[in-house]
Chains A and B, each alone.
Chain A
Amino acid sequence: MDMKVSKKLGLKERYTMMTRDLAWDTTFQPMDKVFPQVGYEGIKIHDWDQWEDPFRLTMDAYWKYQAEKERKLYAILDAFNQNNGHLSVTDARYMNVLKLFLGSTPPLELMAARGFSMVARQMVGAGPRVACMMQSVDEYRHFQTQIHSISNYNRFYNGMDEFAHQQSRMWYLADGKSFFDDAITAGPFEFMVAIGFAFEYVLTNILFVPFISGAAYNGDMAAMTVGFSAQSDEARHMTLGLECIKFMLEQDPDNLPIVQRWIDKWTWRGTRKLASVGMMMDYMLPKRIMSFKEAWEIYFEQNGSALFNDLARYGVKVPKCFAQTIEEKEHITHQSWIGFYMKPDACPFHTWIPAPDELDWLSEKYPNTFDKYYRPVLEHFDRQEKAGNRFNNKTQPMNCQVCVSTIKFNEPGDPMEMCFRETVYKGEKFHFCSDHCKEIFEDEPEKYVQTFISSHAALQGKCEPDGTDVNAHDYRPGARMHAYWRMDKRAAGDFNGSEDQKNFAQWRDQATKN
C-alpha cells in the first residue's frame, strides 16, 4: 500500500504549477529568437519570475464563470428582442448613441483582441502571457456581445448596417482607429501601457460607465446587460494593466523615463478619443446620467490623482496633459457636438439642437462656459434651422496628424481662439490640434508621417468606391464619398423629420394603443 504522505498545495503554489511551471527556457532555439520583440523598445527585464499574477484563474474556473455569464446574457438579449425592447427606450434619439457606439467601440475591442494575442505571444514570462491571452479572448467576447446586442436595433433603425465597412473609411472613426493602430504597431510593452494601463485603467471608466449607465438610464436593457456582464472582465483587465506598469518600473530604473513618456502620450491620446464619449453624455442621451465634466472630475481627476499618488513611489509623475484636460473638460463636448451638427451630410447618425430644458441643464452643469460660449452658437443654429437655412459645412475638415481629430479645440487659456500647431519634417508641413500631439509627432516622426487622413487621401483619389476610374477626364476626387462610405442618407442630418423618429413614434403607438 502506498504510504506516501500527501503534499497539500497552497493556492498560489497550485496556480504556479498550473501556469508558469508549464513553461521552460528554450535551448534548441535561442530565447531571443522565440521571443524577438521584448528587447527593441529599450525596456529592461531581469527576472520574469518577479511578475505578480494579478488574478489567479485556471481555465476550468474561467470557463465555468464565463459560461454562466454568457448563459444569462443571451437569455436576456433574446427576451429583450422578442418583446420589442427597442420600443421601451426613452426616446428615439437614443438610437444615435448606439450608432456612435457600434461604429466606434466593437471595432476597437476587436483590435484589442488581436493586440493582446500578439502581446500574449511575445511576452517571455508565463504569468503575463496567460493574463494577456485571457484578456484577448475576453475582448472577442466584448466586441461580439456588443454586436449581438445591437443587431436587433439594426433591423429597425438606420445608420447601423454598415459599421463593419465604415470602420476603416469613416472620417470621424479615424481617431479611434489611429489610436489602436498606433498601439498595435508599437512594441509589446508600449501596447501594455497604451491599452492595458492608459486605456483600461486610467480612462476606461469614462468610456464604460457613461455608455452602460446611459443604457440603463434610457431603458436599453440589451446594452446595459452587455455592459454589466463585461464588468468583471474589465476588473481583471485593469489589474493586469497596473501590474504591468509596476513590473516594468520595479525591474530596472532605466525603464522609468520610457514608461513616463508612454504614460504622457497615451493618456493624451485617450483623452482626445474620449471627446466624442463626452459629447454623447452631454448631448445625445435623452436621459442624462451626469455631465462629462462631472465624470471627468470623479474618474480622472480624483481617481487618477489617487492612482498617480500611488505610483509616485516609482518616480512616475502625473501625465503632462493633466492640467490641460481639466481646463478642456468644460469645452470639448460642446465643441464636438457643434462640429458634428455642422456636418449633416457626413455622419450616419442624427444631430439636433437641444430642447430648451436641455439647454438649461447644460447651463447648470457648465456654469463657467455654456452660456458664455456655446448657448449663443446653438441658439443661432436653431434660428437659422427654423428659418430654413440649416448650417451645412461641406468642406473637408483639417485633421491633426497624430490623433486625427478634426482640428476644432480651443487654444489653452482662450476659448475664442482655435488651437493650431504645425511642424516641418523633411520639408513637409504637418498640422496638429495641440502641443501634446505635436510632441508625440516629434518623438517619432517616421511613424506619424504615415497617418492616413481621409480628407487628404480623398483629394488624392484614394477614397473611391470600387470601379471608380480616377484617370477619367471628368473625375472629381471625393465626389462619391457617400458611396465610398456606403452611407445611408436616411441616417444622416437632422433627427427632426427623420425616418427613425417617425417609425419609432408609429411603432410605439402600435405597441401601446388599441
Chain B
Amino acid sequence: MSMDLRTITIQPLRQTFGHLARRMGADKPASRYMEATMDLQPVENYHYRPTWDPSHDIFDPQRSRITMKDWYALKDPRQFFYGAWTLARGRMQETASADFDMADELGLATGYPGEGKKVVNEVLLPLRHVAWGSNINNSYIAAYSYGIAISQATAYACMDQLGIAQFITRLGISLDEIDALAEAKQAWLKAPVWQGLRHYIEDQMVMDDWFELFVAQNFALEGLLYPLIYDKLNDRLNAAHGPVLTMLTRFQREWFAENVKWVDAVLKAAAADNPANKALLAEWIAAARQRSVEVLAPVAELAFGTEGAAVLDEVVQQLNARAAKAGIPV
C-alpha cells in the first residue's frame, strides 16, 4: 500500500537552464551531472593571451590534434561531478581503511611472510612513484584540456592517483617496512629494472598534446600495469601467502575496474567523432603500447620470473580487446 502524501504543486516556468535545454533538444529536467558539467567552460571573448603560451587562447581546442564536433561528448559514464565522485571515493576509502585497521589489529600485515614481503617491497612499493607520475600527468590534462567534461574527470583522476600513491605508502607502513619505502625510492631512481619505466613517465611529463598523454598514461600504461600487478601478481601472492594483500590493495583494484569504464568511453567518443581521430588514436595506442610493454618487461620479470613475458602478453591482449571495443583498430 502506498501513502498519498501531498505537497503544494506549483507549475514551474521552465525545467532547466537554456544551454541544457538546447543540448537535450527539449526543456526537461537535467541531471546534476549535466548541470555541473555541460557547456560551462568559456569558449569566447577571452581578454588576454596566456603569457606562458601566447600562441594559444586560455582554453584552446588546438592544444590537441584530436578534433571534436562537441567536446562534451567526452562525458563520464560514471556521471562524476564533485559530489558523486567524492561520495564514491568516500565509500571506497572507508572500506579500504577498515581493511588496513583490521590487518593492523590482527597483526596480519606485520605477520605477512617474509617471502611475500620481499615481492611487495621490490615490486609494489616503487609503484607509489608511478602513481605520482600519473598524478602529474593527469594534472596537465586537467589544466590544459578543452571542456569541463574531460577537465573535471582528469582532475578527479589526478586526486585518485595521489590517493593510490598514499595507499601504497600505507601498505609499506602497515607491513612495518618504512625502510623498504626508502629502498624502493632508491630502486626507482637507480635500479636498472625501473629506469625504463621512469624514463617513459618523464617523457610523458613533457608531452605536448594532452589527448596523446591521456592515451599514453591512462589507457596504455595503466591499462597494462594495473592488471599485471593488482590481478596477476596479487593472485600469485594470494595463492602463496593468503589473501592479506588483496585486502591491502583493495582500493587500487576497485578503482581500476571503475576507471576503465571512463577511459574507454572517452576513447570511444573521440574515435566515433571522425575518421582522423580514429586513425590518430590507433597510432598513439600502438606507440604507447609498444613503449609500455618495453618498459614493463623488466618489472614483469621481477614479479613473475621467466613467466613475466607470457603474463605481460596476457594483459596486452586485454588492452587490445578494450581498444577494439572502443572502435579503434590496433
A: residues with CB less than 8 A from B are 2, 4, 6-7, 9, 14, 17-18, 21-24, 26-29, 33-34, 36-37, 40, 58-60, 62-64, 66-68, 70-71, 73-74, 82-84, 106-107, 110-111, 113-114, 117-118, 120-121, 126, 129-130, 133-134, 136-137, 140-141, 143-145, 147-148, 151, 154-158, 160-165, 167-169, 174, 177-178, 181-182, 184-187, 404, 447-448, 450-452, 454, 457, 486, 503, 507, 510-511
Contact = CB atoms under 8 A, between A and B. Distances in A.
A120 B48 contact: no
Interface string B35-70: 110011111111111111000001100000000000
A305 to B, nearest CB: 32
Contact of A147 (B18, B35, B91, B132): B35
A23 B132 contact: yes
B152 interface: yes
A58 B8 contact: no
B1 interface: no
Interface of B is mostly: helix
Nearest to A457: B45
A26 B205 contact: yes
A178 B48 CA distance: 8
A182 B152 contact: no
| Interface-central residue, A68, A111, A134, A151, by most chain B CB under 10 Å | A151
Given A17-B181, A141-B82, A486-B18, A29 B203 contact: yes
B165 A186 contact: no
B111 to A, nearest CB: 8
A117 B93 contact: no
Contact of A121 (B12, B32, B41, B136): B136
Given A67-B89, A185-B58, A22 B8 contact: no
A137 B82 contact: yes
B163 A59 contact: yes
B41 to A, nearest CB: 7
Contacts of B110: 2, 6
Interface residues of B, number: 85
18 contacts: A2-B111, A4-B176, A26-B205, A34-B205, A59-B162, A67-B86, A114-B41, A117-B143, A117-B151, A133-B162, A136-B155, A155-B13, A164-B17, A164-B18, A165-B19, A181-B46, A181-B58, A185-B47
Interface string B1-18: 000000110101111111
Label chain A's interface by main secondary structure. helix
A491 B66 CA distance: 40
Given A137-B159, A511-B8, 11 more contacts: A28-B199, A34-B206, A59-B163, A118-B144, A120-B143, A121-B136, A133-B135, A147-B36, A157-B13, A165-B18, A452-B46
Given A7-B178, A486-B18, A63 B90 contact: yes
Contacts of B94: 64
Contacts of B139: 117, 120-121, 129, 133
Contacts of B13: 155-158, 503
Given A29-B202, A59-B162, A110-B148, A155 B15 contact: yes
B21 to A, nearest CB: 8
